[in-house]
Amino acid sequence: MKLAITVIKGRLGLKRLDCETFAFRKAGWEEPGLREYIDAFSRLVSENKGDLRYLVSDTFSRLDGRTYFFDKLSKCAQLLDEIESAEGNLRIDNMKPALYAGLRDILCKKGIMWRGGRVRYFLLRAARAARLPFRLGLAFFLDLALLFLSRAILPRPAGMGYDCAFLSFYDYRCKKDGKFRDDYFQPLIERAVRQGGRAVVFLTLYLNLSPRRPVRYMREHMAALREIRRMSGQGGFGLTVYNRLLSTGGLAKAYFKAAGSLLRTGQKVMLEGHDVSALVNASLEEDYFRCEHIYAWKQFFFFERLLSDFYIKRIIYAYENHPWEKFLVLQRNRTSPGTRLVGFQHTSFSMKPLQYFPGKHERDLPIYPDKILTVGKVASEVMNEFGAYGERLVEPGCALRHEYIWKGRFGWGRGADAFRKKVAYAFSFDMSVYPAILDALKDAFQGSEYTVYLKIHPIVPVEAVIKGKLPDNFIMAKYMPWEEIFREIDILFYDDNSLGIEALKHPVDVAYFGLACSTYDCDRLFKYGKEKIAVHSREELKTFIKDYYRGRIKPGKDFRYRAGYLSRYFAPVTSERLDRFLHC
């Protein structure tokens, strides 16, 4: 639900401002408000480190891929500038609820008259509160059923001790030729087994299914559990799901904790020169009703059971600095201090997931693993440059998930000038940006001579983002291998997706597509060192396509430079680099 507000200045005339089309400025690392935001929230987390609700909060963890808090904060400041400079009345349309709550509070404190949105905002909050018991009840029932199913289908992990445990995720990418292949750690798992260590993999099922369709939800999860059982005897390592170890009491306690996690900060929060406490509390309320924190609490009690029932020398997991990862560290410190924790920063990132960059007040908090190994030098340099990590905590590892980049030579295929008039778009994980991007692509390409491949992100259900029939020249390519797509296309457009980097191996051009209506710069080509292509509006896209195919834009394909950059970004897998994970 979007909201509107009218600012009354007592003069004639009414100017309209639409938040969905207004040209908000893009914020990069040079934006002073970004550092202020990170440090202010890190101070709040540090001052309240004894309250686990601060650690489990998406807002205070700066999970901007979910909360868009900095986007709302930046827009709030820019809207206030527009209000103060307006000569007449100003109507602001299509405001998200938290932005509306924050802006109206500041206007009241400044004594600026306004009207609009009160009833709609009240009804929105009331509807969310009314739905919450049903959502929690349904989620608990499905989790309980999944717990019993996992016990019935999967055996308990054998033995009481392991040299290495991996915490990973299961989706359609984890099967290859009928065998299990972990999408995050496969080369490392194989290395651990070859060295004679006992290894086990605990999976979280990630099947992109809505609990609102409970029959399908349980049917697909049951099928996944049976597949895991069938594949569990392969490879010389244990394979199960975390639900198999979670107790019924632990699950109940997780939901009890989640239900009591509503947080309102009583402290005044000053950012961008304004008291944004109302904006913060509105975002915290959205955290609570979004219910993402349930997963973190389930992991909290799973880790308690795991570290109590088994002696594990080393746990390796995908590092993104999410709340559940902090709970792993807390439970390790409390239950099994001798267990070594290694986080694997497993792919590229942009400045949108700001949790990668802890603030200065969080540097010494006990919420980090013993070592964080990245996909390569570029990621470790960026994390250390902009995040307040301890000395030598973050170091380069290798790109366990990107082995295929180094198989086959660079620049294979047709000549650079042999245009096929085919383009591809690599979507991000953020479903909220899909409508604007699809509209822009249709505006530029619908009914044209160009073919457009739509590569939906692996964790995003197609039916959730594609509504209605696509134009005839658009191809849904979610399950089409990228190697096939790269053989066909001339240029790849991307937004907050690692494919913008991986494509550098191939004879295609790459363009960052910054059309999402947010203030984040989601280009992931950090420290590239050469000119990059970027498109920031529909008009720019149309002009760029014309100029590109008329030969007026020739980006060039220096494959030697590209190969060097890729080796720094996604370091090739070697025995020495694998051993950094197993023996650091």
| CATH number of the domain residue 432 falls in | 3.40.50.2000
Contact 345, 371 (CB under 8 A): no
Q: Give the residue-averaged pLDDT of 31-54.
A: 92
pLDDT value for 341: 99
Answer with the one of 64, 97, 125 that is the final residue of a domain.
125
| 235 lies in the same domain as 373 | yes
pLDDT digits (tens, 9 = 90+) for 531-548: 888 888 888 999 999 999
pLDDT of 413 strictly over 60:
no
pLDDT digits (tens, 9 = 90+) for 61-98: 999 989 999 999 999 999 999 999 888 899 999 999 99
DSSP structure string for 374-433: ESSHHHHHHHHHHS-PPTTTEEE---GGGGGGGSS-TT-SS-TT----EEEEE--S-GGG
Provide the pairing of β-strand 238-241 with 14-18: unpaired
Q: Are residues 444 and 363 in the same domain?
A: no
Residue 7 burial class via C-beta count within 10 angstroms: exposed 0-12, middle 13-18, buried 19 and up: buried
* Domain at 240, CATH number: 3.40.50
Single residue among 88, 109, 125 that ends a domain in this structure: 125
pLDDT at 514: 79
**470 & 499 share domain:** yes
Task: Compute the radius of gyration of the chain from its Cα atoms.
Answer: 25
* Domain assignment of residue 561, yes or no: no
**β-strands 422-426, 199-205: how paired?**
unpaired
Contact 509, 424 (CB under 8 A): no
Portion of the chain with pLDDT greater than 90, in percent: 71
Is the predicted pLDDT of residue 517 greater than 80, yes or no?
no
Under the banding of pLDDT at 50, 70 and 90, the label for residue 432 is: confident
Q: Are residues 480 and 372 in the same domain?
A: no
**pLDDT of res. 128:** 96
- Same-domain pairing of 207 and 290: yes
Mean pLDDT of 381-391: 96
Q: How far is CA 70 from CA 79, 182, 228, 282, 308, in A?
A: 14, 34, 40, 13, 39
Are residues 121 and 137 both part of a single domain? no
Verify that 157 and 110 share a domain, yes or no.
Answer: no
Q: What is the mean pLDDT of the chain?
A: 92
Task: With respect to residue 279, please indicate whether it lies within any of the assigned structural domains.
Answer: no
Categorize the per-residue pLDDT at 415 as very low, low, confident or very high, splitting at 50, 70 and 90.
Answer: very low
Report the pLDDT averaged over residues 500-513.
90
pLDDT band for 121, please (50, 70, 90 cuts): very high
Q: Is the pLDDT of residue 460 over 80?
A: yes
Same structural domain for residues 386 and 512?
Answer: no
Cα dihedral sign for 313, 206, 567, 527? negative
Q: Which two tokens stand for residue 469?
A: 């029939």
- Same structural domain for residues 542 and 578? no
- Average the pLDDT over 283-305 and give the result: 97
pLDDT over threshold 80, residue 10 = no
- For residue 499, being part of any structural domain is answered with yes
- Residues 262, 265, 269, 275: is their CA dihedral positive or negative? positive
pLDDT at 417 over 60: no
- Cα 322 from Cα 55, distance rounded (Å): 9
Which helix (H) or strand (E) segment is 324 a member of? helix 323-335
- The side-by-side arrangement of strands in the sheet containing 340-344 is 238-241, 199-205, 164-170, 314-318, 340-344, 371-374, 394-396
Other C-beta atoms within 10 Å of 556: how many? 9
Other CB atoms within 10 Å distance of the CB of residue 473: 15
Q: Check whether 155 has a pLDDT greater than 50.
A: yes
Residue 505 lies in a domain: yes
User: Using an 8 Å Cβ cutoff, are 435 and 515 in contact?
Assistant: no
Listed ranges 163-177, 238-252, 534-548; the one with the highest mean pLDDT:
238-252
- pLDDT tens readout for residues 195-213: 999 999 999 999 888 888 9
SS3 3: strand
**143 and 77 in one domain?**
no
Contact criterion met (CB below 8 Å) for 405 and 376: no
Helix and strand tally (H, E) in the chain? 20, 23
CA distances from 253 to 147, 256, 302, 378 (A): 14, 5, 11, 41
Mean pLDDT value across residues 243-258: 97
Count: domains in the chain? 3
Last residue of a domain, one of 85, 102, 125: 125
Query: Is the pLDDT reported for residue 327 higher than 70?
Result: yes
Residue 371: its pLDDT value, please?
99
Q: Which helix (H) or strand (E) holds 462?
A: helix 462-465
| Shared domain check, 577 and 532 | no
Give the pLDDT of residue 32.
79
pLDDT of 414 strictly over 60: no
Q: Supply the pLDDT for residue 209.
A: 84
SS3 for 130-188, per residue?
HHHHHHHHHHHHHHHHHHHHHHHHCCCCCCCEECEEEEEEECHHHEECCEECCCCCHHH
Question: Cα–Cα distance between 305 and 247 in angstroms, integer?
Answer: 8
pLDDT at 9 over 70: yes
Residue 417 domain-assigned (yes or no): no
58: in domain: yes
pLDDT of residue 161: 92
Enumerate residues 6+ apart whose C-beta is below 8 A from 170.
203, 204, 205, 206, 207, 224, 228, 241
pLDDT of residue 431: 86
Question: Residue 263 falls within a domain, yes or no?
Answer: yes
Q: Are 262 and 388 members of one domain?
A: yes
Domain ranges, residue 113: 3-125
- Six-digit token string for 576: 């020495």
Task: Tell me: pLDDT of 416 over 60.
Answer: no
Q: How many CB atoms lie within 10 A of CB 400?
A: 28
